[in-house]
Structure 1
Amino acid sequence: MSDLGIPGVLDLAGIFVFAVSGALAAVQKRLDVVGMVVLAEITALGGGILRDLVIGAVPPAAFTSVSYVLVPLGATVLVFFWHPQVTRIMPAVTMFDAAGLGLFCVTGAIKALDYRLSPLHAVLLGVITAVGGGILRDMLSGQIPGVLHDRQLYALPALVGAMVATLLWHSGLHGVVVSAGSALLAFGLRVAAVRWGWRTPRARGVRD
């Protein structure tokens, strides 16, 4: 763990919470343990694999680090045996998804900057990293991906978190506090949107 650095540690944290959201989604769909493992792994690793392929970090970290595979398995075991308790601690999929969203938008943007992408492309890749796993989870579990109907601010919090992380990075402000703060901002926006029903507008003339 000490060799991973701050981005790697945050990446593993995002992988864990996204894996929990994937495993909980499998429980809600009444899938067996194999389905739980598949949804947990894909939700946790999908966005990061896409990020690494885009920036040319091949093979992706998910295929070079045992931790990237074992962490989702550990999350699946946790949910398999204690999903009622997990759900009571942090309600259902939403909170874990919001946490993964916040962590991945930051790690995606920072890794893109490390590979010398422009600030604009770093922000875009941060968003892609954050929403990729959730899109795969929703598609496999038979739901319309949340990013396609961003009515409770799914992609927008990731965009804000990635933008803040990128701006701070270019201002010379690095470190776990800065990264965690940017992730917490995205997490807070997502949770607040769900809590108070904040919504993005539809096309003009289209009613709810």
Structure 2
Amino acid sequence: MFDSDTAFLIVDIFGIFVGAATGALTGIKLRYDIMGIWFLALVTGLGGGIIRDTMLQIGPPLALTNPFYLPTVMAATIIVAIWGRHIGQLRKTITTLDAIALANFAVAGTLRSVDADLSYWAAVLLGIMTAVGGGIMRDMMIGTSPAIFHRAELYGLAALGSCLSVLLLYWLGLGRELTIVASVGVGVFLRLGSLRWGWMSWEPRQI
């Protein structure tokens, strides 16, 4: 079994890689040059974690201190830049990986907040910010209203499901590794289930 630090690192790096890849794909679709593609990958992959670590105020963001994070973004950018046309055709695979990345980010953000002795409310907030922060920053940078703000299949609510699962299983005393796997599974199920069966987020009536 992995120790808790290794488990957290694996979860975070997977989310960073997939997030960076989706950001790079967005840059290619918008016909950006390689620097623009890399910057969108950087923001999408690391933006949520940087927001989380800045709010935690426990030192420099992990994106700047961990030796694996920036190379992970670079690897995702290069892979997408070279094989982007083929990757773009794998829509179902990308959708699945994106769902896993969303849940991974939510779980990683929640765990890091719990480890910092924050309240459960704060842990949920930072878990969600970790999951969706990079995508919000990406959308704002390309001049579009963030997708998470609109009625659609579950995205932010799927992240919320992962965050709440972490706290529930943590409170029940389940091992860290099992908590991670189960909580990621909850988020992935909610995200992919909403795409498969048309579950939509609630939109209040127009005033």
- TM-score by structure 1 length? 0.90
Cα pair 1:105 1:158 within 8 Å, conserved: yes
Q: 1:87 to 1:180 in 2, by over 3 A?
A: farther
Pairing 1:63–2:61 present: no
Which runs of no fewer than 5 residues in structure 2 stay unpaired?
none
Instruction: Describe the superposition over 1:75-116 as per-residue Cα deviations: whole angstroms up to 9, x where unpaired.
Output: 011101111332333448644432221101001001100000
- For 2:80 and 2:3, the matched residues in 1 are separated by 27
Cα pair 1:161 1:183 within 8 Å, conserved: yes
| Equivalent residues in 2 for 1:1-208, closer than 5 Å | 4-91=5-92, 94-204=95-205
Letter in 2 for 1:148: F
Kindly report structure 1 stretches of 4+ aligned residues shifted beyond 6 Å: none
Which runs of no fewer than 5 residues in structure 1 stay unpaired?
none
Letter in 1 for 2:101: G
- For 1:50 and 1:40, the matched residues in 2 are separated by 16
My pick for the range that moved more, 163-172 or 39-48, is 163-172
- For 1:141 and 1:55, the matched residues in 2 are separated by 28
Shift of residue 3, structure 1, vs aligned partner? 9.6
Q: In structure 2, the residue corresponding to 1:184 is in which secondary structure?
A: helix
- TM-score by structure 2 length? 0.91
Cα pair 2:151 2:203 within 8 Å, conserved: no
- For 1:201 and 1:76, the matched residues in 2 are separated by 35
Give the alignment's Cα RMSD to 1 decimal: 2.1
Cα pair 1:24 1:92 within 8 Å, conserved: no
- For 1:44 and 1:205, the matched residues in 2 are separated by 34
Identity of aligned residues (%): 37
